[in-house]
Amino acid sequence: MNIFIKHPRSKKPDAMLTFSLWTVLVVLGKVLLNGIFITVLDYTLNFGTIDAALAAAVLTATLGAYVGRKWKNPPETNDNNVDNPDK
């Protein structure tokens, strides 16, 4: 069982793409559920608040890691080397 999302071009599992997607989904969920209280019997679930600085700090670091890795190690393709004509 593979837990990573496959990169659309290379069809290989990509940990950074998976990490980036989960980070965006968690921040988006936190923004959408901002300030909501759910009470069931005696248990209260509080999603809390998130400010723009926290969201920007998390998303900027994730985007930087993803773009930096892709810039350094572009995926290999099998379609007649369209991305790299020198091969």
Q: What is the pLDDT of residues 42-86, one digit of tens each?
A: 888 888 788 888 888 888 888 887 777 666 666 565 555 555 555
3-state secondary structure of 3: coil
Cβ neighbours around 12 below 10 Å, total: 10
Cβ neighbours around 20 below 10 Å, total: 19
Q: Is the pLDDT of residue 10 over 60?
A: yes
Q: Which two tokens stand for residue 38?
A: 């759910």
Q: Which two tokens stand for residue 9?
A: 């071009």
Whole-prediction pTM: 0.61
